Amino acid sequence: MQFSKVLLTASLALLSAASPIAEALPWAKANPQAAAAAQAYADAYAEAVAIAHPDPKAYALAASADDCADVQCHMNCGLMIVAGQDCSENSEDNYSGPYTSGCLCNAEGSTKFQSYYDACMDCGWTLWKYYSVYLQPALEECHKDFPSVSTEPTGTSRCSTTLTDEYTKETDINYTTFTQ
């Protein structure tokens, strides 16, 4: 009995010391769904540390699934959005063109935008209802010069609400202010 009290007290002390802060993931502030996923990951990671789990990252990823889109998918697609914004020359809606020539895509596949393409497109259906309005203009621009660039996700994972819910584009969110 005494051992249980000591163990419980120590666990509570560790849990309070491992306070979850999603600010470590600055891109998550830009979209409420990404913020929720980042906070869930931070909470789960803190819990994993508090219980001395041998692999806190794996524990946090498994425990923080946002419906079926994980935090890595939010990260890759979110950073792809940021890279697209960096290429936009549109002062009213930097999620749309015109874009700086060669900034989004090139034949070598070496642009910042392209560096997130494979990972985002593989998991993209799991959060496409949120991110498509921000990614499709840039993807369509790339597709003009490089037809192998898909304008929709290529993976097969989907959430039950992926295609049924609707999301409206918010042009006043500036993802680039959330990166370092």
Residues 157-171: what's their mean pLDDT? 57
pLDDT at 175 exceeding the cut of 60: no
Q: Count Cα neighbours of 45 within 13 Å in the Cβ-side half-sphere.
A: 15
Q: Any idea where the domains of the chain sit in the sequence?
A: 69-162
| Cis ω for the linkage preceding 56 (within 30 of 0) | no
pLDDT at 129 exceeding the cut of 60: yes
- Three-class SS state of 11: helix
pLDDT at 12 exceeding the cut of 70: no
Residues 119-134: what's their mean pLDDT? 87
pLDDT in tens, 52-67: 877 777 666 666 554 5
Query: Vertex 47, ends 45 and 49: CA angle to 5°?
Result: 70
